[in-house]
Each structure stands twice: as structure tokens, then as C-alpha cells.
Structure 1
Amino acid sequence: MTTQDTPPAGGQRPAQFTQFSRGEWAALRASTPLQLTEDDLAAVRGINERLSLEDAAEVYLPLTRLLNLQVTATQQLRRVTDTFLGSPAAPAPFVIGLAGSVAVGKSTAARLLQTLLARWPEHPRVALVTTDGFLYPNAVLEQQGLMTRKGFPESYDRSRLLQFVRDVKDGKPHVSAPVYSHLIYNIAPGEAQIVDRPDILILEGLNVLQRGLEPETTGRRFVSDYFDFSIYIDAEEDDIRQWFLNRFLKLRETAFLDEQSYFRHYARMPEDDALEIARGIWERINGKNLRENIAPTREMANLVLRKGPDHGVTEVRLRRS
């Protein structure tokens, strides 16, 4: 276990992180029981991702123990404030932001955290929302010339996303979020996800830790302002790129075969040609977005999970200041 400072950003003092090896982190599980089966893992595991019961026990169980302590402390602090004010407010959920690149395993990590956290008796209602639903519809992106920048910060309806998180955080009932369909590569028409006063909200997305994009945004509110805890999934870009290519090839054999799939034409072309296109997509879009917008937010996170080439977490960094 080591402590290190990261370079300051925006004139702020350096952030201090404690770095744990996987073994050191696993020991912090203490006596927390693992209440998962192989079937549970199969339900949350993404395409071409390695996730075992050992991973759940050594990496994610200590994390849920930490989060449970954080939730309890936050609830106690709110009760103290309510007592002081003499007017209890509506219960506010504990909001967790989870960020990282395309193909790094965010969705799998988010689903696993949701499953594990919901089994703690203190907070059984855990909602998971992805920011994909807050992308502008393709028609809007095409009109604004942003289809080749889908996933970049400007391709999201940030005002709507901010209002959604604010409403959930304020304890409002039946808050609606749009739903994204990866099959049609667009917002699913007429579909919505209703979030009704959860104990915990996990918000997963590429840019959830993003702050200001232009100088005139100084002083504005950002989605990350409403987070009680944030997590960044990290890995070497070369590894993430290879995971993206592997997933692309796997999708050619599965989801892309669906006649409704936006990408069905990739399933019909020779594999070498499809792979060359996938490499171009990474270089022009996903890799560029990672370098310019996603990776710079890593040091904003409360916790960083660092993965090795086999998708397994090798080290953990926990912010101390």
C-alpha cells in the first residue's frame, strides 16, 4: 500500500491517493460474505469480459463494503442536519458516478455493483441508469454534424441529464430517463426508465466526471456535483483498443446479425474489411474521445480500478483528499 500525489488541475491542490495491490485491497473485504452465484455473474457479464467469483470477492466486495459505510455515514449526517433544522427533508439517494472508456467494462462493473449493493439490508433499492439515454437522437446529431462525435460530451443533452440527476437527488418520485437502444443505435422511441426514490443511484457513462468544456461554463453546475462517490475504470489504451476490436468481432457473430441492427452490414462483409473499419472507428472516435475527454477526468474520481490486459483488476487507488 502506497500513498501518492497526482498533479494539480485548474489551480487546485494535488489529490492524494492511496494505492493498493489487488491482494491488499482484497483483505479489506473483512468478513463480508459473497452472496453471488455463477448464474448471477452470467447475468451481469459483458461480451468478451472476464469476470469470476474470485474477481467479485477480491475487488467488488471490498468496494461495496466501503460504499455501504459511505452510505451509512451520509445518511447519519443528513439526519443530523434535519434535526438541526427541525424539518426532515425527503430521503435523498446516495449517488455513485461510474466513468471510463468504451469497452473498458463500465457496464459490467455497474451491473455487478448494483447486484451486490442491493443485497445489503440498509439499501435494498439500487437503480442503475446509463447516460446513453441522454444522447441526442440521431436526427439531431445529423442536423448538428455530430454523428461522428457520438459519445463526445457535446453529443449529450447535458441540460436534461443534469435535471434528471437533480430531480432524483431531490427525492422526487417517478423521475423519467430516456432509454437508448444499442440495436438501432438510437434513442428507443416511446421508451422510458422510471426511477422512483431509490436508496442508491448508479449513473454510468463515458463523461459523467466531466466538468467545464468552455470558459463560459465557469460557475455552472455539473452532473458530478451531485455525486456522493465516483469510480473510474482504467486500463492502458492499447488494451482497451484490443477489447473494443474483440467485442466488435463478437458482435458480428451475434447482435449484428439481427435485421433490425444498425450495424447489420458489418456482419455481411469479410472479416478483414470489418476489422479495418473497426480500427478506424477506434482511432477517429473512441480513442480520440478517451484521450481528449475521458482519461483527463480520471483524477476526479474517488476510486480508480486499474485493469490488466486480461480485464482483471490489478490495483486500486483510493482518494484520501
Structure 2
Amino acid sequence: MSAPGSTVASMFIDLEREAWRALRASTPLTLSEEDVAGLRGLGEQLDLDEVVDVYLPLSRLLNLQVAAAQRLWTEQQAFLGGSASKVPFIIAIAGSVAVGKSTTARILQALLARWPDHPRVELVTTDGFLFPNRVLTERGLMKRKGFPESYDRRALVRFLAELKAGRKEVTAPVYSHLVYDVVPGEAKVIRQPDILILEGLNVLQQSGPAEGNRMPGTFLSDFFDFSIYVDASEQDIRRWYVNRFLQLQQTAFRDERSYFRRYAELTHDQAVAFAESVWGEINGPNLAQNIAPTRSRARLILTKGPDHKVKRVRLRKL
């Protein structure tokens, strides 16, 4: 919101949680407690109240957006006299490591797939478009994994362009968090979904500066129909990241195949110190330099409080 006396108008409509909750209207709850438990991220407090208060109004808004896009597509095809393939409605979800954007993506996928007009909803993360560890090592980028330069952005742009061109089948590379690398030879096949959700750290980032007289390259956002930024204070996200690391140390890191197996035997204090150092050297700077500056480019911002629950929603004015 603008400061008192300011003449600068906000680009967003600010809605506290209760006001946003009322926008659910008659949208039915189509998820059970068991469904929500299966979609909940590590260390998060997601429950049915959060789904009802936050995600049902959001699924209603997105359903209206998809319906409007479908009508526009039909009318444009009638105008052109053509019969080109229908293309998916693409939703981008951005935010920091450990802020809960993956859970937001999974919840929206589950809710949107239950609307009758768009039952085919696919979810793709940008992790698969990271360069393999071999390439990152060669380029000295392993400690900048997750920064914009660690992604094969040409491949990601090509993936989105093929989707929006109506290709019958498009493939996305697969990433394994267990081995902390892209899986060689493995791909996820996307077959003309009604909606595609793309989740990742830097999906709202602009292209780099132009070189000489060359125009800047294509933005990822050129392909998005709607975008969401999951927000919270840096202090809270840092705490969530450390707590998640401690939980993973007692679970996934103990798998012999895990890239992080070497950290499973750290003492509690050692694990906290290591997680804090990773945040301070990698995730914190990436958030400050690359991720947070894209927040204002989103169509909708979900702002979380210290308890991981959304307390405010900001919707960009049309």
C-alpha cells in the first residue's frame, strides 16, 4: 500500500486473509484431510482451513481466468477461420527455496483438476532444466546452483514455446532431489494439458541485457497466462530452510543413494551450522539478488506469516 499522502498508486489490490476467504463464494471443497496430508510439504502446517481460506478462492479465480482464455481462443479461431490446436493455460509459481511454492503448486494442481472444464492439469518444475552437475562443475557453478545462470534457459524457453505452439507431445527433463542431479535419459511427457503449472525459483526473471544492437531474448513470462509469487520474510524463510534441513537429515539423507548422505551423521549443532552456511552463501544471496526482485512482476502474491500460513493476498489490478 502507498504511504499516507503518497500520490503513487499501488499496482495491487491488498486483501487480508478474511476478505480473501469470502471470495471463495460457493466453490466446493473437493479435497479430504488425507488428500491434504499427501500434498503437504516437509515442515509445513498446511491443513483444510488453509485450503478453504486461501486455495479455494484462488482456484475459483484461476478457473475464471482459464474460462476467459478459452472463450478468447475460440473467438480468435472463429475470426481467423482456422482450426489450430488449443494450447494450455500456463500458470507460473515463483518464490524462494523453502517458502512452500512446491506445496502451492501441488494443491492448485489437485484443485484445478477437479473443475469440470479443465480436468487435465500438469505440473512441471524448473529443476529439470538445471544443467547437469557435470556441466555445473565444469563451469564452476555448483555453489550457484539455483541461480539463473545454472539453468538451461534456452531449453526451458523451447519447452514453453512448443507448448504454446500446440505440439501434441512435449518433453521435460526430470530432476532427482535424492541424487541432486538431472536424471540422464529420463523425461516427462506432456500431452496437450488444459493447464500447465510451472514452478521454480526464477520463472519470473527477465532476460539478460541486450548485447550490442541485439534485442533482448524472449522472456519466460511471455508464455505465462497467470503468475503467482509465494512470499515471506527472509528471517522466516531462513528458519524454515534450517528446520527442513534438520528433518531431511533424519530421513532422506540416510538413504545410501542420497547425494547428501555425508551429512546424515552430523550432530544437531553441526547440521544447524552447515544449513546456516548454505543459506548465507547460496540461498540467501539468490533470494536477495534474483528471486525477490521479481515479486512485483507476479499477477498475485501470497504473503505468509511466521507460521507458514498465508495472511495476505495481493492481486495485480487489471
Same fold (TM over 0.5): yes
Alpha-carbon contact 1:151-1:289 (below 8 Å) kept: yes
Partner of 1:154: 149
> Which residues in structure 2 correspond to 1:4-19 (within 5 Å)?
16-19=11-14
Rounded Cα–Cα distance in structure 2 between residues aligned with 1:281 and 1:14: 38
Partner of 2:137: 142
Partner of 2:216: 219
**Residue 4 of structure 1: how far off its partner (Å):** 5.2
State the AA in 2 paired with 1:300.
R
TM-score, normalization by structure 1: 0.95
State the AA in 2 paired with 1:153.
P
Tell me whether 1:311 sits opposite 2:311 in the alignment: no
Alpha-carbon contact 1:151-1:206 (below 8 Å) kept: yes
Alpha-carbon contact 2:131-2:151 (below 8 Å) kept: yes
Pick closer, same or farther for the CA change 1:124–1:317 going to 2, 3 Å: same
**Deviating more after overlay: 229-238 vs 33-42:** 33-42
Pick closer, same or farther for the CA change 1:318–1:299 going to 2, 3 Å: same
Partner of 1:10: none
State the AA in 2 paired with 1:190.
G
TM-score, normalization by structure 2: 0.96
Partner of 2:44: 49
Equivalent pairs: percent with the same residue?
Answer: 58
State the AA in 2 paired with 1:151.
G
Partner of 1:9: none
**Deviating more after overlay: 211-220 vs 21-30:** 211-220
CA shift digits 1:208-263 (9 cap, x unpaired)? 00002334374321111100000000000000000000000000010000001000
**SS at the partner of 2:264?**
helix
The one of 73, 98, 106 equivalent to 2:68 is 73
The one of 249, 254, 259 equivalent to 1:252 is 249
State the AA in 2 paired with 1:261.
S
Rounded Cα–Cα distance in structure 1 between residues aligned with 2:67 and 2:283: 37
The one of 32, 47, 53 equivalent to 2:27 is 32
Rounded Cα–Cα distance in structure 1 between residues aligned with 2:259 and 2:209: 33
Partner of 1:126: 121
Partner of 1:234: 231
**Residue 39 of structure 1: how far off its partner (Å):** 1.0
**SS at the partner of 1:306?**
strand
**SS at the partner of 1:63?**
helix
CA shift digits 1:140-190 (9 cap, x unpaired)? 000000000000000000000000011112111121100000000001122
Rounded Cα–Cα distance in structure 1 between residues aligned with 2:73 and 2:134: 43
State the AA in 1 paired with 2:107.
L
Rounded Cα–Cα distance in structure 2 between residues aligned with 1:64 and 1:44: 16
Partner of 1:277: 274
Alpha-carbon contact 1:212-1:218 (below 8 Å) kept: no
Partner of 2:107: 112
Partner of 2:174: 179
The one of 255, 259, 267 equivalent to 1:262 is 259
Partner of 2:158: 163
Rounded Cα–Cα distance in structure 1 between residues aligned with 2:189 and 2:97: 25
**SS at the partner of 1:31?**
coil
Alpha-carbon contact 1:135-1:157 (below 8 Å) kept: yes
> Which residues in structure 2 correspond to 1:67-106 (within 5 Å)?
67-106=62-101
Q: Which structure 2 segments of 5+ residues have no match?
A: none
Alpha-carbon contact 2:88-2:193 (below 8 Å) kept: yes
**SS at the partner of 1:213?**
coil
CA shift digits 1:35-64 (9 cap, x unpaired)? 110111111111000101010011000001
**Residue 88 of structure 1: how far off its partner (Å):** 2.1
Alpha-carbon contact 1:4-1:17 (below 8 Å) kept: no
**SS at the partner of 2:263?**
helix
State the AA in 1 paired with 2:219.
F
**SS at the partner of 2:55?**
helix
Alpha-carbon contact 2:18-2:53 (below 8 Å) kept: yes
**Residue 15 of structure 1: how far off its partner (Å):** 6.0
CA shift digits 1:87-138 (9 cap, x unpaired)? 1211110000000000000100000000000000000000000000000000
**SS at the partner of 2:239?**
helix
**SS at the partner of 2:24?**
coil
Rounded Cα–Cα distance in structure 2 between residues aligned with 1:33 and 1:76: 23
Rounded Cα–Cα distance in structure 2 between residues aligned with 1:72 and 1:171: 18
Rounded Cα–Cα distance in structure 2 between residues aligned with 1:58 and 1:218: 44
Q: Which structure 1 segments of 5+ residues have no match?
A: 6-12
